[in-house]
Structure 1
Amino acid sequence: MRIDFYQLSRDPVVEVVPMLARKAVASGARLAVVHADPAVRAQLSDALWAADGAFLANGEASAGHAARQPILLSGDGARDNEASIAILADGDIRDTADRFERVLLLFGAESTDAARDLWRRLASAGGGGGTSAPDLHIFKQRSDGAWREGR
């Protein structure tokens, strides 16, 4: 499993999720967007529908037709649409994260220490019982809004 840490320093999550979702959907992947707060999920849904004039179809996992949604929003990491990628928009890695091939963990400045601790735990995981540590990457946003991979 690959886990990408996205450190939000300029743009809010409601702007970053549509950008990342657009790339995932363009690659042919199905996507799960996870946030514990239903009000924030509603904002994310609106932002996805309005994404630069090219809407990104999405639906709440608790609503009908979850399996048909290219982007499924939930509070717990539902994968009813067989998503291979999850965006953890609230910065909370869940037990359900290992269901996905790739996880994008978004976190702000207030969560930097927790993200570092998680990175260290994940980097040292594996090695026993046939499991291996996940493939970890970090992306930082530059002042011009572009993202760069780095440490």
Structure 2
Amino acid sequence: MQVDFYHLTRMPLERALPQIAAKVVASGARLLIVAADEERRAALDRLLWNYAPDSFLPHAQQGGAADERQPILIAADVNPANRARHIALVDGEWRDAALDFDRAFHFFDEEHIRAARAAWKELAARDGVERRYWKQNEAGRWEQTA
């Protein structure tokens, strides 16, 4: 199980998430995006429709008639109705249920850095969990720093 911590310092979630989501979908995998806040989920739904003029990320918000067919599903909690094996936690809150997936992307900003550090330390003691920490350099590129 791999957990990638993405420290949002220069690039907002609205730019970072679509990049990750596109890579997951291009690999043939499915993604569950989790955010507790309903307004945040609605904003992510709009974002994935029009984040780039030449791109489209097939997705839906959980609760629709075809959740199981969605390559990307936006949900309030960790319930992979689309049978996703990848999960993106986008509200800065770590959820241990993410460990049931093959890969987790944990996005956090400065407001949530304490919680992210606590999750990082806690996961260090877990068997079978590979942690990676990504931070943006001066040019805005992601670099693995741990």
The TM tier, using the shorter chain, reads over 0.9
Counterparts of 1:1-150 in structure 2, within 5 Å, are 1-52=1-52, 53-125=54-126, 132-150=127-145
The one-letter code of the counterpart of 2:119 is L
Q: Distance in 2 between matches of 1:28 and 1:133?
A: 24
Gaps of 5+ in 1: 126-131
* Match in the other structure for 1:128: none
Task: Give per-residue Cα distances to partners, 1:36-71, cap 9 Å, x unaligned.
Answer: 111111111111111322110110111221001100
Secondary structure of 2:4's partner? Answer: strand
Is the contact made by 1:123 and 1:133 (CA closer than 8 Å) also made in structure 2? no
Q: Distance in 2 between matches of 1:84 and 1:111?
A: 25
The one-letter code of the counterpart of 1:98 is L
> Identity over the aligned pairs, expressed in percent?
38
The one-letter code of the counterpart of 2:28 is G
CA shift, 1:111, in A, is 1.4
Is the contact made by 1:32 and 1:85 (CA closer than 8 Å) also made in structure 2? yes
The one-letter code of the counterpart of 1:60 is Q
Runs of 4+ in 1 over 6 A off after TM superposition: none
With normalisation by structure 2, the TM-score equals 0.93
Is the contact made by 1:34 and 1:86 (CA closer than 8 Å) also made in structure 2? yes
Secondary structure of 2:7's partner? Answer: strand
Task: Give per-residue Cα distances to partners, 1:62-92, cap 9 Å, x unaligned.
Answer: 1221001100000102211111110101121
Q: Which moved more, 1:2-11 or 1:91-100?
A: 91-100
With normalisation by structure 1, the TM-score equals 0.90
Is the contact made by 1:122 and 1:133 (CA closer than 8 Å) also made in structure 2? no
CA shift, 1:109, in A, is 1.0
Is the contact made by 1:14 and 1:43 (CA closer than 8 Å) also made in structure 2? no
Q: Distance in 2 between matches of 1:99 and 1:38?
A: 24
Q: Distance in 1 between matches of 2:128 and 2:102?
A: 13
